[in-house]
Structure 1
């Protein structure tokens, strides 16, 4: 997502960090719940497929169109797909030895 967010709209915080734990609590989640992606916006927070689709909607085309089409599916279907991809993410996307946290191009995008 870092590379796809060309405008730098989204910021990241590790859920285990003080900031991440505070954002989890603000979102009504337990501060130690790191089970899913959480998108926190001014008007609310979103998890799992809702978070992914809102993020996709904020990126460049065709991702907003894909998000709009998939957004009409029932939440259990979307979250089931999210869980399947999350459980197998290394099979789908591979592993990398590099950490984006140490990439100077994205340094300002991570909240510490």
Structure 2
């Protein structure tokens, strides 16, 4: 297991961003600027770098990493922050983004586990 956290709070606009933009922003610390659109989670430790082909579980859904942005490792390790985009594309749009391929969007709820293996 490279990374594992539990969702503790869901910003009031987080599900809107997921539906409209096919993305989740998850955050460990409560950055006020992002809190409204984030899925907040417990503290986690990134034990190994995230790589293309890794599996990401969000609740009961599993996805495969298609791309990792240049800053994603750093922000995940130091801030517990990452943008997950549900798109099968080997190119990211943002440096802190991880693209995930799989079927459909997740429906995260408080208490769900986010893990990377």
Do the structures match in fold with TM over 0.5? no
| Rg (Cα) greater in structure | 1
- TM-score (normalizing by structure 2): 0.29
The structure where strand makes up a greater share of residues is 2
Flag the structure with higher helix content.
Answer: 1
